[in-house]
Structure 1
Amino acid sequence: MSSYYRHFKGKYYQVIGTALDTATEGLVVVYRTLYASEYALFTRPYDEFFGSVSRTGRADEPRFAPVDWSEMPEEARRNVLTVLPLAGE
Protein backbone atom coordinates (compact mmCIF):
# COMPACT_ATOMS: atom_id res chain seq x y z
CA MET A 1 0.00 0.00 0.00
CA SER A 2 1.33 3.40 -0.98
CA SER A 3 1.47 6.22 1.56
CA TYR A 4 0.23 9.01 -0.71
CA TYR A 5 -2.85 9.20 -2.90
CA ARG A 6 -4.62 11.66 -5.16
CA HIS A 7 -8.42 11.64 -4.97
CA PHE A 8 -10.22 11.63 -8.32
CA LYS A 9 -11.33 15.21 -7.58
CA GLY A 10 -7.66 16.27 -7.31
CA LYS A 11 -6.79 16.63 -3.61
CA TYR A 12 -3.97 14.73 -1.92
CA TYR A 13 -4.05 12.41 1.09
CA GLN A 14 -1.70 10.38 3.26
CA VAL A 15 -2.75 6.90 4.36
CA ILE A 16 -2.06 6.28 8.05
CA GLY A 17 -3.05 2.62 7.97
CA THR A 18 -5.97 0.26 8.12
CA ALA A 19 -8.30 -0.39 11.05
CA LEU A 20 -11.27 -2.53 12.03
CA ASP A 21 -14.71 -0.89 12.07
CA THR A 22 -16.14 -2.56 15.16
CA ALA A 23 -19.73 -1.76 14.16
CA THR A 24 -19.49 -3.58 10.82
CA GLU A 25 -16.37 -5.71 11.43
CA GLY A 26 -15.16 -4.40 8.09
CA LEU A 27 -11.72 -3.10 7.23
CA VAL A 28 -11.37 0.67 6.82
CA VAL A 29 -8.56 2.89 5.56
CA VAL A 30 -7.48 5.66 7.95
CA TYR A 31 -6.14 8.70 6.11
CA ARG A 32 -5.41 12.39 6.55
CA THR A 33 -5.77 15.38 4.31
CA LEU A 34 -2.69 17.09 2.93
CA TYR A 35 -4.49 20.43 2.75
CA ALA A 36 -6.17 22.65 5.34
CA SER A 37 -9.29 20.90 6.62
CA GLU A 38 -11.72 21.06 9.52
CA TYR A 39 -10.90 17.43 10.39
CA ALA A 40 -7.49 15.78 10.71
CA LEU A 41 -8.42 12.14 10.06
CA PHE A 42 -10.94 10.31 7.91
CA THR A 43 -11.92 6.69 7.36
CA ARG A 44 -13.44 5.00 4.36
CA PRO A 45 -14.31 1.32 3.82
CA TYR A 46 -11.30 -0.46 2.33
CA ASP A 47 -13.10 -1.65 -0.81
CA GLU A 48 -14.52 1.82 -1.42
CA PHE A 49 -11.14 3.54 -0.92
CA PHE A 50 -9.49 1.23 -3.44
CA GLY A 51 -12.52 1.06 -5.73
CA SER A 52 -13.36 2.96 -8.89
CA VAL A 53 -15.76 5.78 -9.63
CA SER A 54 -17.83 6.39 -12.74
CA ARG A 55 -18.40 9.90 -14.00
CA THR A 56 -20.60 10.85 -16.91
CA GLY A 57 -18.72 10.77 -20.18
CA ARG A 58 -15.53 9.37 -18.67
CA ALA A 59 -13.96 5.96 -18.23
CA ASP A 60 -13.98 4.48 -14.74
CA GLU A 61 -11.08 5.74 -12.67
CA PRO A 62 -9.66 4.91 -9.24
CA ARG A 63 -11.28 6.82 -6.36
CA PHE A 64 -7.77 7.24 -4.89
CA ALA A 65 -4.74 6.79 -7.16
CA PRO A 66 -1.30 6.17 -5.60
CA VAL A 67 1.26 8.90 -6.24
CA ASP A 68 4.97 9.30 -5.55
CA TRP A 69 6.31 12.05 -3.31
CA SER A 70 7.75 13.82 -6.36
CA GLU A 71 4.30 13.97 -8.03
CA MET A 72 2.68 15.88 -5.17
CA PRO A 73 2.43 19.67 -5.16
CA GLU A 74 4.55 21.62 -2.68
CA GLU A 75 1.57 22.36 -0.40
CA ALA A 76 0.82 18.64 0.01
CA ARG A 77 4.48 17.79 0.71
CA ARG A 78 4.67 20.59 3.28
CA ASN A 79 1.56 19.25 5.06
CA VAL A 80 3.10 15.78 5.39
CA LEU A 81 5.57 17.37 7.79
CA THR A 82 2.83 19.09 9.81
CA VAL A 83 2.22 17.51 13.21
CA LEU A 84 -1.06 15.62 13.25
CA PRO A 85 -3.20 16.98 16.11
CA LEU A 86 -4.64 14.22 18.27
CA ALA A 87 -7.52 14.25 20.74
CA GLY A 88 -6.72 16.09 23.96
CA GLU A 89 -4.00 18.26 22.45
Structure 2
Amino acid sequence: MAVAGIYRHFKGNYYEVVGIAIDVDSKEEFILYRQMYDIFGYWMRPKDMFLGERMTENGPVVRFAKIGTSFENILEKEDIFNIDIGNSETQNRYKVIKSYKRDDDTIFEVKILE
Protein backbone atom coordinates (compact mmCIF):
# COMPACT_ATOMS: atom_id res chain seq x y z
CA MET A 1 0.00 0.00 0.00
CA ALA A 2 1.39 3.39 -0.99
CA VAL A 3 1.54 5.85 1.89
CA ALA A 4 1.50 9.05 -0.19
CA GLY A 5 -1.74 11.00 0.04
CA ILE A 6 -3.83 13.31 2.19
CA TYR A 7 -4.37 12.41 5.85
CA ARG A 8 -6.48 13.81 8.67
CA HIS A 9 -4.95 13.77 12.14
CA PHE A 10 -7.29 12.57 14.89
CA LYS A 11 -7.30 16.14 16.28
CA GLY A 12 -8.56 17.49 12.92
CA ASN A 13 -5.64 19.01 10.97
CA TYR A 14 -4.71 17.86 7.47
CA TYR A 15 -1.35 16.64 6.21
CA GLU A 16 0.10 15.54 2.88
CA VAL A 17 2.41 12.51 3.02
CA VAL A 18 5.28 12.88 0.57
CA GLY A 19 6.91 9.46 1.08
CA ILE A 20 9.04 7.38 3.39
CA ALA A 21 12.26 8.73 4.92
CA ILE A 22 15.05 6.36 5.98
CA ASP A 23 17.73 7.59 8.36
CA VAL A 24 20.98 6.55 6.63
CA ASP A 25 22.73 5.97 9.96
CA SER A 26 20.10 4.14 12.03
CA LYS A 27 18.06 2.71 9.08
CA GLU A 28 14.88 3.71 10.94
CA GLU A 29 11.89 4.40 8.67
CA PHE A 30 9.79 7.53 9.03
CA ILE A 31 6.81 9.04 7.24
CA LEU A 32 7.81 12.34 5.56
CA TYR A 33 4.89 14.76 5.47
CA ARG A 34 3.96 18.42 5.37
CA GLN A 35 1.27 20.23 7.28
CA MET A 36 -1.47 21.74 5.13
CA TYR A 37 -1.96 24.85 7.28
CA ASP A 38 0.05 27.84 8.47
CA ILE A 39 3.56 27.72 7.01
CA PHE A 40 3.28 24.24 5.45
CA GLY A 41 6.32 22.94 7.38
CA TYR A 42 7.87 19.56 6.61
CA TRP A 43 8.01 16.92 9.33
CA MET A 44 8.72 13.26 9.81
CA ARG A 45 7.44 10.80 12.38
CA PRO A 46 8.36 7.13 12.96
CA LYS A 47 6.42 5.03 10.45
CA ASP A 48 4.79 2.75 13.04
CA MET A 49 3.68 5.75 15.10
CA PHE A 50 2.27 7.65 12.11
CA LEU A 51 0.31 4.63 10.85
CA GLY A 52 -0.63 3.42 14.33
CA GLU A 53 -3.27 4.22 16.92
CA ARG A 54 -3.34 6.72 19.76
CA MET A 55 -5.17 6.16 23.04
CA THR A 56 -7.70 8.88 23.87
CA GLU A 57 -10.20 9.27 26.69
CA ASN A 58 -12.75 7.63 24.34
CA GLY A 59 -10.48 4.68 23.52
CA PRO A 60 -7.99 4.02 20.70
CA VAL A 61 -8.18 6.04 17.47
CA VAL A 62 -6.14 5.98 14.27
CA ARG A 63 -3.54 8.76 14.63
CA PHE A 64 -3.59 9.71 10.91
CA ALA A 65 -6.43 8.51 8.65
CA LYS A 66 -5.84 8.52 4.90
CA ILE A 67 -8.69 10.41 3.28
CA GLY A 68 -7.53 10.73 -0.31
CA THR A 69 -4.71 11.21 -2.76
CA SER A 70 -2.91 14.35 -3.80
CA PHE A 71 -3.91 15.92 -7.09
CA GLU A 72 -0.58 17.68 -7.43
CA ASN A 73 2.99 16.50 -6.95
CA ILE A 74 4.37 19.06 -4.48
CA LEU A 75 7.95 18.01 -5.19
CA GLU A 76 7.71 19.43 -8.71
CA LYS A 77 7.63 22.88 -7.07
CA GLU A 78 10.00 22.25 -4.15
CA ASP A 79 13.65 21.25 -4.05
CA ILE A 80 13.38 18.48 -1.43
CA PHE A 81 17.18 18.44 -1.09
CA ASN A 82 17.16 22.00 0.28
CA ILE A 83 14.31 21.63 2.79
CA ASP A 84 14.96 21.55 6.52
CA ILE A 85 12.81 18.72 7.96
CA GLY A 86 11.83 18.51 11.62
CA ASN A 87 11.39 15.24 13.50
CA SER A 88 8.15 15.50 15.48
CA GLU A 89 9.46 13.25 18.24
CA THR A 90 13.12 14.23 18.81
CA GLN A 91 13.55 17.89 17.77
CA ASN A 92 16.36 16.79 15.40
CA ARG A 93 16.55 18.53 12.02
CA TYR A 94 17.20 16.48 8.86
CA LYS A 95 18.14 16.94 5.21
CA VAL A 96 17.32 14.60 2.31
CA ILE A 97 20.51 13.26 0.71
CA LYS A 98 19.04 10.79 -1.82
CA SER A 99 15.65 9.73 -3.19
CA TYR A 100 14.37 6.75 -5.20
CA LYS A 101 11.21 4.74 -5.93
CA ARG A 102 10.33 1.50 -4.09
CA ASP A 103 7.10 -0.17 -5.11
CA ASP A 104 4.47 2.63 -5.07
CA ASP A 105 6.35 4.88 -2.62
CA THR A 106 9.09 7.46 -2.89
CA ILE A 107 11.93 6.73 -0.48
CA PHE A 108 14.01 9.59 0.92
CA GLU A 109 17.33 8.88 2.59
CA VAL A 110 17.81 11.49 5.32
CA LYS A 111 20.65 12.53 7.61
CA ILE A 112 20.62 14.52 10.84
CA LEU A 113 21.97 18.03 10.42
CA GLU A 114 25.07 18.70 12.49
- TM-score, normalising length: structure 2: 0.56
Equivalent residue number for residue 34 of structure 2: 32
Q: Distance in 2 between matches of 1:30 and 1:2?
A: 9
Equivalent residue number for residue 14 of structure 2: 12
1:84 and 1:9, CA in 2 relative to 1: closer, same or farther beyond 3 A? farther
Equivalent residue number for residue 60 of structure 1: 60
SS in 1 for 2:59: coil
Question: Number of aligned pairs?
Answer: 75
Structure 1 residue ranges without an equivalent (≥5): 70-76
CA deviation vs aligned residue, 1:5-63 (integer Å, no higher than 9, x gap): 001110000000001123431111100011113x621000000000100012x121111
SS in 2 for 1:36: coil
CA contact (8 A) 1:40 1:85 kept: no
Q: Distance in 2 between matches of 1:85 and 1:10?
A: 28
1:24 and 1:84, CA in 2 relative to 1: closer, same or farther beyond 3 A? same
Q: CA RMSD in A?
A: 2.4
Runs of 4+ in 1 over 4 A off after TM superposition: 83-86
CA contact (8 A) 2:4 2:19 kept: no
Equivalent residue number for residue 44 of structure 1: 45
Q: Does residue 24 of structure 2 align to residue 22 of structure 1?
A: yes
Aligned residues with identical type, % of pairs: 31
Greater strand content: 2
